[in-house]
Amino acid sequence: MSLIVPAKTKRVYLSKRPIEGIEKDTFVSETTYVKQPGPDEVVVRVDIVSLDPAMRGWIRDVRSYTPPVKIGETMRAGALGTVLTNGKTLKKGDIVQGYLGWTEYSTIKEKFLEKVVAPPGANPVDFLGPLGMIGMTAYFGILYVGKIKPGQTVVVSGAAGATGSLVCQIAKIKGAKVIGIAGAEDKCRWLVEDLGIDKAYNYNEQGWHSRFKREVGYLDVFFDNVGGSILDFMLTRLNLNARIVLCGTISEYNSSKPRGLQNYQTLTAMRASIQGFIVFDFTNDYPKAVADMAQWIQEGKLKRKYHIESGLENCPRYLQMLFRGENRGKL
């Protein structure tokens, strides 16, 4: 592809906040002029955008760790891109990551970008996976918040998802017994056969609760990407001092009236905790985490699976796919 700055770019902006699921009129796509870069800016061609569960939170108008996307604003998204203009530190042709958003071309301050150089065995796209926010979330969530120890039983929901599949593998590397929960038979097979976790349950299958009770019993750490009824069930499965790492509650993101947790009383009985966290709390330790992840990639211990679709204007549809669990691998 050429490294020429075009006159125009397509972008997809937030047009209306959804009440429940994402609707036809939530996002609108338009063609607009590419803004000339200021003295501390560069123009970047967006090559791959990452679609993540957190995006549902960004378009909700509530207090959170990050301000909501405004109406009319280009939809925020982590992305990989190629620099098209020379800046002060970046130069034409550099591959960068940052919140480039749902746009073909972005004019953005250099300080919001990070130049990426794939370590041995890795690919630039891994910076949207194990070497990026997803990977940091998995790493700090299971190791720093979950504090897993060898031999402990770890349960991961959304186990076949981008974060979950990394959590499963990190927990295995650290010697835990790993149980995955996913929403389809082929996802469960992938977890056990390809990723080598100990057991996987399909939550869409009748009777999985009783099989889980019989076969697994109780857990020490629950890494939850899903929330809702799976979290409520796991609250009945806590060992003493169990820790629930609340990473996401994707099952509730599209709901205006979330299902309540009934079984939280066990937290007192078992001296257990639910801990919400976000990866930005651990920025000081990113270099160590990236080094560990890069090493595991090089050693072939971290498998990744990407699900790549094309067409910027289709991003809203792909995002819906994510919430329906239709993707296979990091989207």
Choice between 100 and 226, CB closer to a copy of itself = 226
Choice between 127 and 253, CB closer to a copy of itself = 253
Give the Cα separation of 231 and 242 in Å (integer). Answer: 13
Pull the structure tokens for residue 69. 């996307």
Which bin fits 325, alpha (ψ -120 to 50), beta or left (φ > 0)?
A: left
Which one of the spans 57-65, 77-85, 150-158, 165-173 is the region binding a copy of itself (CB under 8 A)? 57-65
- Give Rg (Cα) of the chain: 20
What is the closest distance, in whole angstroms, from the C-beta atom of residue 4 to a copy of itself in the complex?
Answer: 41
Choice between 192 and 270, CB closer to a copy of itself = 270
Q: Which of 4, 38, 63, 210 touches a copy of itself (CB under 8 A)?
A: 63
What is the closest distance, in whole angstroms, from the C-beta atom of residue 234 to a copy of itself in the complex?
Answer: 13
Choice between 140 and 296, CB closer to a copy of itself = 140
Q: Which of 249, 297, 323, 331 touches a copy of itself (CB under 8 A)?
A: 249
Contacts with a copy of itself in 250-309 (CB under 8 A)? Answer: 252, 257-278, 281
Q: Are 48 and 77 in contact (CB under 8 A)?
A: no
> Which residues, 6+ apart, have CB-to-CB distance to 52 below 8 Å?
77, 78, 133, 134, 162, 322, 331
What is the closest distance, in whole angstroms, from the C-beta atom of residue 270 to a copy of itself in the complex?
Answer: 7
Which one of the spans 58-66, 125-133, 191-199, 319-327 is the region binding a copy of itself (CB under 8 A)? 58-66
Give the Cα separation of 205 and 202 in Å (integer). Answer: 6
Choice between 88 and 149, CB closer to a copy of itself = 149
Total residues at the site for a copy of itself (CB under 8 A)? 36
Give CA separation, 100 vs 9, 116, 215, 254, 278, in Å. Answer: 13, 14, 45, 24, 20
Give the Cα separation of 177 and 127 in Å (integer). Answer: 28
214 binds a copy of itself (CB under 8 A): no
Give the Cα separation of 161 and 140 in Å (integer). Answer: 17
Site of interaction with a copy of itself (CB under 8 A): 57, 62-65, 227, 232, 240, 246-249, 252, 257-278, 281
